[in-house]
């Protein structure tokens, strides 16, 4: 198949591209490089430096495409609180522009990169796909909006839609600027001999999923039709302070932390039930936290820039 990956020069996209290419698929990556890095794009893929709002470029990119994996967009929750308009413009309007280009090109199969942030403050755990959506930050709100537009394009245009709600991915190739995710910030501080930054005294509970497991979920859904929504997580909640303890074990040294208090837009606890995805496709997370941290530390040791 020929697959278009928007935002494919980023952290998760780089792993998805490799899996697709290794499986023999043809991959086209579209990324404006505002957040991505061209060096993360597999040389076997066709790369188009463009914004998804550029209709002419997208119509060209969509020629012969079977599936779109849509990952382009802004992701930083604290930034979304400060600048919600940018998130509406990039994540929502950009996605609608892409969907309109897909209609014109006759491409009607899409996998959408969504987020656990759509659930807001959980009423019960683990989170399931039919739980109420109630974002506590504009980032989550932008993803809910796109999910709703995808539902309408499924109804109006017959799109086959797969929505993957990511929990907390980590692993090699994570080079966000600014970096707001816990694990890369913890690792970078540890390797630099600095105090490890935590919020809420490290009591927050998250579902940390290794990026290669997350990427694999995208390749497992490319035979689905209709409208599908799946959580993608490990099913296990881990406190950030316990991640710190595991990191101490991996590095074999004591680490000091610095607590930055509360962070606006955060929720205290969430973790996934990925039972629906497992039953539908056979997918499950394979890499445990300690193993994943070892691989991630190794990558940062070899790639961290001073």
Percent of the chain with pLDDT over 70: 98
Three-state DSSP at 250 gives helix
Kindly report, residue by residue over 46-80, the tens digit of the pLDDT. Answer: 999 999 999 999 999 999 999 999 999 999 988 99
> Domain range spanning residue 162?
2-168+209-233
**Which of these is catalytic: 37, 119, 139, 166?**
139
Kindly report, residue by residue over 148-173, the tens digit of the pLDDT. Answer: 999 999 999 999 999 999 999 999 99
Q: Is residue 173 part of a domain?
A: no
- Is residue 119 part of the annotated active site? The answer reads no
What are the residues facing 31 on neighbouring strands? Answer: 49
Confidence of residue 263 (pLDDT cuts 50, 70, 90): confident
d(CA 137, CA 141): 6
Q: Is residue 272 part of a domain?
A: no
Q: Is residue 43 part of a domain?
A: yes
The count of domains in the chain is 1
Q: Is residue 16 part of a domain?
A: yes
**Is residue 88 predicted with pLDDT exceeding 60?**
yes
CATH code (residue 148): 3.40.50.720
Say what the pLDDT of residue 306 is: 45
Strands 46-49 and 67-70: unpaired
Three-state DSSP at 62 gives coil
Q: Is residue 175 part of a domain?
A: no
């Amino acid at each position: 198949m020929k697959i278009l990956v928007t935002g494919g020069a980023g952290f998760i996209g780089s792993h998805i591209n490799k899996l697709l290419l290794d499986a023999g698929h043809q991959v086209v990556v579209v990324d404006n490089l505002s957040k991505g890095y061209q060096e993360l794009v597999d040389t076997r893929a066709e790369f188009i430096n463009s914004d998804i709002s550029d209709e002419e470029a997208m119509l060209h990119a969509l020629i012969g495409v079977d599936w779109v994996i849509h990952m382009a967009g802004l992701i930083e929750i604290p930034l979304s609180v400060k600048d919600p308009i940018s998130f509406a413009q990039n994540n929502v309007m950009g996605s609608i522009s892409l969907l309109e280009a897909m209609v014109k090109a006759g491409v009607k199969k899409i996998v959408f990169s969504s987020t656990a942030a759509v659930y807001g403050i959980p009423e019960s755990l683990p989170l399931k796909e039919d739980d109420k959506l109630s974002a506590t930050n504009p980032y989550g709100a932008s993803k809910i909006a796109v999910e709703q537009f995808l539902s309408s394009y499924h109804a109006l245009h017959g799109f086959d839609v797969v929505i993957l709600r990511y929990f907390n991915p980590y692993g090699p190739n994570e080079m966000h600027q600014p970096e707001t995710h816990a694990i890369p910030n913890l690792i970078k501080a540890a390797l630099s001999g600095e105090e490890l930054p935590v919020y809420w005294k490290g009591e927050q509970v998250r579902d940390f999923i290794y990026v290669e497991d997350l990427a694999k979920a995208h390749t497992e859904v490319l035979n689905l039709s209709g409208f599908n929504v799946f959580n993608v997580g490990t099913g296990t909640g881990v406190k950030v302070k316990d991640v710190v303890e595991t990191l101490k074990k991996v590095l074999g040294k004591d680490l000091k932390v610095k607590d930055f208090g509360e962070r606006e837009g955060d929720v205290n606890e969430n973790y996934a039930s990925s039972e629906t995805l497992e039953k539908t496709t056979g997918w499950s997370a394979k890499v445990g936290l300690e193993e994943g941290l070892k691989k991630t530390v190794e990558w940062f040791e070899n790639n961290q820039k001073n």
